[in-house]
Amino acid sequence: MMKKEPKDLEKEKLKMYIGVECQMSFYIFDKEFEFRKICYRAIKSKLWDNIVMLLIFLSSLKLCFDSYYLNADPELPVMKISGDIDLFFNICFILEMVVK
């Protein structure tokens, strides 16, 4: 694999942030900060959109399930598993929020 010339790297960097005018994100992440670049590439990928849409769909199914077991005993194993699944979706959506 060929090494990119500095001129090509500069063009790639300029294309990456088209439409993004702020130099500092949250006043701490500069445009050159590697974590910001990784997050930006992630949210621009089609895979990211597909995963988020799948999580939204599964979360909606989970809400349907919850309405069926609305008055169930919280000590039932199915309700404990339901709580764990809620925690999983909450963590996933918090991670999505942080990355975006």
Give residue-wise pLDDT tens across range 39-67.
888 888 999 999 999 999 999 999 998 88
Query: Which parts of the chain sit beneath pLDDT 70?
Result: 1-28
Burial of residue 62 (number of CB atoms within 10 Å: 0-12, 13-18, 19+): middle
Give the pLDDT score at 53: 96
**Which residues, in sequence order, are bridge partners of residue 24?**
30
Give the pLDDT score at 92: 96
Give the pLDDT score at 60: 95
Q: Which helix (H) or strand (E) holds 97?
A: helix 77-99
